[in-house]
Amino acid sequence: MVHSNATPSARRTELLEAAYGYVLEHGLAELSLRPLAKATGTSPRVLLYLFGSKDGLVEALLGRARADELALLARLGELPPGAAVENRLPRVAALLWTWLADPAHRALLALWVEGYARSLVEPDGPWAGFAQATVADWLALLAAAQPGRIRDTEAGLAERTEVLAVLRGALLDLLATGDAERVDRAVRSRFGVPAEPGRAG
């Protein structure tokens, strides 16, 4: 599971935000402390002091990425129910997809996919638990969008698992190909929401 410092100093918080901006642009795969320190106006020694190690810094950055994800889920979770309770899950799924498909979020989502993949192939590193926590977060939002009579059944779990699989697969396709119009039409067709013609990626 990704953890964060319970009482971070102002300087640590400032550098975490600066480092987060850096990895959104450059990714985490080849993260090196020296260029990161130069880009954020500090030194490798200070980064190691504040985060304990490079792994500690990576863990903090993944926690920061997850915070953005949880903020999104919280906003969607506050949406008022639709006229028909049964229609709320497709509606929430479509809103999630609209956010995922927004080109403005492409860097964040590429970072999220990188962290997700690394947590699977390096389960004992700073990535530990990132993918599992992400799945749980999204399933919880989708569960809240289901009517109570379905939510706690095997069918309800299967339904939201399918929705998550569609969203995740579509996101990977979009990031890989950039073919926003094709993927957008497919997702919106699946959830019964009109496609947006000419959507640009």
Q: What number is the average pLDDT over the span 4-29?
A: 83
Take residue 94 and report the two structure tokens written for it: 């479509």
- Find, among 148, 26, 196, 170, the residue nearest to 93 by Cα: 170
Domain coverage including residue 179: 10-190
Take residue 78 and report the two structure tokens written for it: 């506050």
Per DSSP (E only), the strands in the chain are none
- State the total domains in the chain: 1
CATH of the domain at 136: 1.10.357.10
Residue 123 lies in a domain: yes
Residue 3 lies in a domain: no
Residue 30 lies in a domain: yes
Predicted TM-score (pTM) of this structure: 0.78
Residue 198 lies in a domain: no
In single-letter form, the type of residue at position 99 comes to W
Q: What number is the average pLDDT over the span 156-182?
A: 95
Whether residue 178 is predicted with pLDDT greater than 70 in this model: the reply is: yes
Q: What number is the average pLDDT over the span 161-186?
A: 95
